[in-house]
Amino acid sequence: MEQHRTRPPYNGTRRGTPPLPPQAARGGTAGGGARPAQRPTPRPAQKRPSLRPSAVRQPGPPLVDTGRRLPNPRLTGLGGGLFCGAVMFVLGCLDDLLFGGSLTVYGVLFLPVCVLTAVWVRKGDLVTAPVVVPIAFAVGLIPVADSDGGVLGRLMGLVTALATQAGWLYGGTLIAGVIVTARKVVLMRRQVARRRTPTR
């Protein structure tokens, strides 16, 4: 009787080839099968761009904020003279109407007008502020000064008022001169600082 040759069970490998690893036998990457699902790597959280300290506006003191809200016009030399003269004439009329032409009240009202004129005049006309202030003082004295009637009497009353109220006149002119000088010094320092800064 012929004996049939028994073949070893075929496990998918040929002779002379090493056995496949377990992952390949299960249908891994070596066999061209589907790759195992990989977990997506989490992206790093994006940081929001932080604001620069210079970009954040710090609240200033209440006095500075109030000063910024006030009107800050820029008057020319002629405009400063017209402003100061018109305001002093109106104040003189009000003084004559309400206080009977009190020269002391008029002198007190003259000081803040000098301050506003020196502050509001523009940079190129700073020198004109101390010049127009005495003229405005004389213009405002016209309705306040005592007069006996007529042009000559009005003129004599004006001269008398200027002589007796010279303290207010010099005080207001001095205040305007100090403010103008301080502004001029600040402008000169800024110009020097700009020249010293190196240009990139």
Q: What is the pLDDT of residue 19?
A: 56
Q: What is the pLDDT of residue 120?
A: 93
Q: Where are the domains of the chain?
A: 74-196
How is residue 5 written in tokens?
A: 């040759």
CA atoms in the 13 A half-sphere facing the CB of 66: 3
- How would you label 140-163 residue by residue, b for 16+ Cβ within 10 Å and e otherwise? bbbbbbebeeeeeebeebbeebee
What CA–CA distance (Å, rounded) separates 174 from 130? Answer: 8
One-letter identity of residue 200: R
Place of tokens 């490998």: 13
Q: What is the pLDDT of residue 63?
A: 42
Q: Render pLDDT for 29-44 as a digit per residue (tens, 0 to 9).
A: 444 445 555 565 656 5
How is residue 63 written in tokens?
A: 């006095």
What CA–CA distance (Å, rounded) separates 111 from 139? Answer: 15
Query: The pTM is what?
Result: 0.61
Cβ(145)–Cβ(155) below 8 Å: no
Place of tokens 């004389």: 138
Positions of the chain with pLDDT under 50: 1-2, 24-25, 27-33, 51, 53-55, 63-67
